[in-house]
Every structure is written in structure tokens, then in C-alpha cells.
């Protein structure tokens, strides 16, 4: 290397905006579910870049798609369409309820598009009074000012001046709290079909079906934020497929690109028509490189082999974590669905999830947290069973070092 400065963690504090507090370790390469840092120490990756690396690191199908497209054409404006975007959109439409797709670059952007579309639809079809958006406490929808305000943690949206208006928050898994807020003035209800950042909280069957019914009763659009739950994470291609509830708009990102930035908003022709020419857009949305990689992700994940494997691997995690807990009694609950799993720390360890994460790093396994008291696992959907076993053994060592 030719740099006359050293590329190490300390440089972060010198040259980066201080909105993150990254750990001391700098990973430099990955293969499958293993990652190596600057000192060549190996880690088993149970974090998956926060549910992004759906097929692990440097999956050959994704590397192949990126290289192939990288030698054809990288970027076109939206003045032209391109082959990878058309192929990906067609495959998303063929495998979901949706009839139309809009591409962007992130989860927040896909939710921003969904919310703007809902407001347009309501204004066109029902008039200016129908503008209320209802979302849920502890929900997370991204960090643009609109999406972070719709998200259910005021702490994330406070401190930036006046917020976008007519946004209310009900309680997750509490239908009465939604009933108290919803009316014919409600334009849309935005919900995660399993709260990720908010603590790995699954909806009850009665609740999620009740949300759909209330939306129907009041002519409100139901928007499923599947940025974290989508692309196989919970064991089906999209989480809605297992809930007996179909949304009007669905947003997807994270796993959709397997590590290449992409977002998508999916909806019906009838609703999509309200985003007329010129009403919304994105320079990079539908970028050929992103769409080519995403097509390879979808082709790989949307197979019975991979989808069935997710359920089998999830059982290895749950059984393994329960076995650890039987020895050390650190978790009050193991919850979640598919390969989005939360281990809730007992009363004694409240607020210490980050301590467990750091101890796990020391032992050579990367995990996530969801809030201060939950350890979250969001590994590759194709993580080898022996990597699950090895990673859990390292995680157990981390627990031994703390209890």
C-alpha cells in the first residue's frame, strides 16, 4: 500500500462524522459465513451485515453477476431502462402479489416512496382530508426525515426541527390502540410484519389480520415494511406469504441486494398509477449493477432448497441457544422467526447486550443487538451447519467469560 498514513480504527475519529461508534476491529475480507480482520483473525458471521448479506460473503453467483454486468454497462439514467432492472422487476412481480415495481437504493428510500405514493393515492382518490399515516411504537422504517418520523422512536426523529405532519403511532400487537386512531381520514398504515430493530417482536395472528381488516374498513392502504423480513429471512420469500395477509404496498431492501445497495417498492397497478411521470424518482434507482446482483440473489434464494434450509438452520440456532441457556440461564426467551432470532437477556443482564456482543467478537463470532437487552442473530440464509455449530461454541465461550 502506498498510503503514508495507517488505515486503522483511530482514523475513524479523525475523518468520519461521529454518528457511529464502530468496534476496534476492521474486517477486510469474507467468504461464506467467515470474515477476517486486519490481523487475519477469523470470525463466524452471525450478523450478516444486519440481515443484508443474505447469501454470506462473496457468494459465487453474486460475484459472477457483478463481474459480468461490470464489463457490460454500469449505469444509465432513467431516460433509458435496462435489461437487469426489467428482468428483476419481472421476477419480483411473478413471485409476489405485486404487479408493479419501483427501484431505489435503500430501505429508507423504498419506504419514502411507499409513503409518498400512499399520500398521492389518497389525495387523488379521496381528497386532501385523507392524509393520516399510522405506524407503530418501536417500529423502524429508516432515517430520512419522513421515514424516521413514521418510525416509532421519537428519540430518532427529535432534534431536527419541524417534522412531517399527520403521523400517529399505535401499539404493536394491540388492535384496540389502532382502532382508537384509525378513521376514514387514515391514508395508510405502515407496519413491519415482525419488528426487527424494535426487539424481534412477532405479530399475533389476530393482530395482523385485524390490521388488514381495519385498513379495509377505512379505505386505508396497508404498507408492509419487509426491508428486514423479506427475501427469505423468515423462511418464505416475503413474510406476508406466511401470515394470510396481503399488503397493498411492500418495501424490500437489505437482503434484496445481498450486500449491493438496492431497494424496491412493490404494489398493484391500480395504486402504482398515481406515481405519474415526474412525480418521484432516483438517479441510481434501477442501476444495472445493483439489479444484476439482486437478480442473482433472488434466483438463488427463491428456491425450495434454500427456503426449506432456512427453517432447518433456524432450528439449529434455537436448539443450540436453548442448550446454552440450560447451562448458564442468561436468556428469558428465544424468539423470532426463520433466521431472524432474538435472545432476550434475563433481568440480571438487562442493558448488557453490547457487552455480550463485544465478548462474542473477542471469541471470534459476530452477533447483533436489538435494543439494549436483546442479542440478535441474522446470519446468511445458506450458512453451513458446521459454521452454526462452531459459532455457537464460540458464543458459549463468550457467555462463560461473562457469567
> How is residue 102 written as a grid cell?
419501483
Question: Which residue in the block uniquely carries the three cell numbers 423502524?
Answer: 140
Binding mask 113-132 for ligand PLP (x = CB under 6 A): --------------------
Q: Is 342 in the site for ligand PLP (CB under 6 A)?
A: no
369 is in an annotated binding site: no
From the list 210, 145, 146, the residue with the least C-alpha distance to 173 is 210
Among the listed residues 192, 295, 387, 396, the single contact to ligand PLP using CB under 6 A? 192
Kindly state the number of chain residues that form the binding site for ligand PLP, as judged by CB under 6 A. 15
Q: Which residues contact 397 (CB under 8 A, 6 or more apart)?
A: 363
Q: Which of residues 207-226 bind ligand PLP (CB under 6 A)?
A: 225
Q: Is 396 in the site for ligand PLP (CB under 6 A)?
A: no
CB of 52 to ligand PLP, least distance (A): 8
CB of 309 to ligand PLP, least distance (A): 22
143 is in an annotated binding site: yes
> How is residue 161 written as a grid cell?
426541527
HEC string of 287-312 equals: CHHHHHHHHHHHHHHCCHHHHHHHHH
236 is in an annotated binding site: no
CB of 346 to ligand PLP, least distance (A): 26
Cβ–Cβ under 8 Å, residues 356 and 367: yes
Nearer to ligand PLP, 173 or 332 (CB): 173
From the list 15, 48, 31, 78, the residue with the least C-alpha distance to 379 is 48
Q: Measured over all CA atoms, what is the biggest interatomic distance in the chain, rounded to whole angstroms?
A: 65
Helix (H, G, I), strand (E, B) or coil at 66: helix
Taking the C-alpha atoms of residue 376 and residue 374, their distance in angstroms, rounded to an integer, is 6
Nearer to ligand PLP, 239 or 343 (CB): 239
The count of other CB atoms within 10 Å of the CB of residue 129 is: 12
Helix (H, G, I), strand (E, B) or coil at 232: coil
Cβ–Cβ under 8 Å, residues 190 and 227: no
Cβ–Cβ under 8 Å, residues 117 and 271: yes
Q: Is 339 in the site for ligand PLP (CB under 6 A)?
A: no
Q: Is 157 in the site for ligand PLP (CB under 6 A)?
A: no
Question: Which residue in the block uniquely carries the three cell numbers 444486519?
Answer: 50
Cβ–Cβ under 8 Å, residues 306 and 136: no
Q: How far is CA 138 from the centre of its chain?
A: 15
Among the listed residues 53, 69, 202, 228, the single contact to ligand PLP using CB under 6 A? 228
Nearer to ligand PLP, 33 or 228 (CB): 228
119 is in an annotated binding site: no
The torsion of the CA quartet 257, 258, 259, 262, rounded to 10 degrees, works out to 10
Nearer to ligand PLP, 142 or 232 (CB): 142
CB of 8 to ligand PLP, least distance (A): 26
Among the listed residues 92, 108, 117, 266, the single contact to ligand PLP using CB under 6 A? 108
Of 156-164, 191-199, 301-309, 338-346, the window that binds ligand PLP (rule: CB under 6 A) is 191-199
Q: Is 112 in the site for ligand PLP (CB under 6 A)?
A: no
140 is in an annotated binding site: yes
Nearer to ligand PLP, 82 or 195 (CB): 195
Among the listed residues 130, 141, 313, 337, the single contact to ligand PLP using CB under 6 A? 141
- Binding-site members for N(2)-acetyl-L-ornithine are 143, 282
**Interaction site with ligand PLP (CB under 6 A):** 106-108, 111, 140-142, 192, 196-197, 225, 227-228, 253-254
- Binding-site members are 107-108, 140, 143, 225-228, 282-283
- Binding-site members for pyridoxal 5'-phosphate are 107-108, 140, 225-228, 283
Amino acid at each position: 500500500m502506498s498510503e503514508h498514513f495507517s488505515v486503522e480504527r483511530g482514523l475513524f475519529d479523525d475523518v468520519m462524522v461521529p454518528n457511529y461508534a464502530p468496534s476496534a476491529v476492521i474486517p477486510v475480507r469474507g467468504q461464506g459465513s467467515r470474515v477476517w480482520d486486519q490481523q487475519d483473525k477469523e470470525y463466524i458471521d452471525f450478523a450478516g451485515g444486519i440481515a443484508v448479506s443474505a447469501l454470506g460473503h462473496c457468494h459465487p453467483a453474486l460475484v459472477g453477476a457483478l463481474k459480468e454486468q461490470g464489463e457490460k454497462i454500469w449505469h444509465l439514467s432513467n431516460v433509458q431502462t435496462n435489461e437487469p432492472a426489467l428482468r428483476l422487476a419481472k421476477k419480483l412481480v411473478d413471485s409476489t402479489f405485486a404487479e408493479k415495481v419501483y427501484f431505489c437504493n435503500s430501505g429508507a428510500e423504498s419506504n419514502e416512496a411507499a409513503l409518498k405514493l400512499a399520500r398521492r393515492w389518497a389525495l387523488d382518490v379521496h381528497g386532501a382530508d385523507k392524509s393520516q399515516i399510522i405506524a407503530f411504537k418501536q417500529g423502524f422504517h429508516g432515517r430520512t426525515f419522513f421515514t424516521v418520523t413514521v418510525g416509532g422512536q421519537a428519540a430518532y426523529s427529535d432534534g431536527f426541527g419541524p417534522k412531517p405532519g399527520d403521523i400517529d403511532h399505535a401499539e404493536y400487537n394491540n388492535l384496540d390502540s389502532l382502532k382508537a386512531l384509525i378513521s376514514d381520514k387514515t391514508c395508510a398504515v405502515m407496519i413491519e410484519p415482525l419488528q426487527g430493530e424494535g426487539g424481534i417482536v412477532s405479530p399475533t395472528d389476530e393482530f395482523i389480520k385485524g390490521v388488514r381488516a381495519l385498513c379495509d374498513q377505512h379505505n386505508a392502504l396497508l404498507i408492509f415494511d419487509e426491508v428486514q423480513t423479506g427475501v427469505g429471512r423468515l423462511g418464505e420469500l416475503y413474510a406476508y406469504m406466511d401470515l394470510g395477509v396481503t399488503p397493498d404496498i411492500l418495501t424490500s431492501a437489505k437482503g434484496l441486494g445481498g450486500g449491493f445497495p438496492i431497494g424496491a417498492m412493490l404494489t398493484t397497478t391500480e395504486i402504482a398509477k398515481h406515481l405519474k411521470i415526474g412525480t418521484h424518482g432516483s438517479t441510481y434507482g434501477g442501476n444495472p449493477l445493483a439489479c444484476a446482483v439482486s437478480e442473482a440473489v433472488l434466483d438463488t434464494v427463491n428456491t425450495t432448497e434454500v427456503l426449506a434450509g432456512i427453517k432447518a438452520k433456524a432450528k439449529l440456532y434455537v436448539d443450540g441457544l436453548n442448550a446454552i441457556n440450560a447451562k448458564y440461564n442468561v436468556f428469558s426467551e428465544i424468539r423470532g422467526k426463520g433466521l431472524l432470532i432474538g435472545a432476550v437477556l434475563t433481568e440480571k443482564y438487562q442493558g448488557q447486550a453490547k457487552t455480550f456482543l463485544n465478548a462474542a467478537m473477542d471469541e471470534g463470532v459476530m452477533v447483533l443487538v436489538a435494543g439494549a437487552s436483546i442479542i440478535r442473530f441474522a446470519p446468511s440464509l445458506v450458512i453451513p451447519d458446521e459454521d452454526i455449530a462452531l459459532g455457537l461454541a464460540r458464543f458459549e465461550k463468550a457467555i462463560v467469560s461473562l457469567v
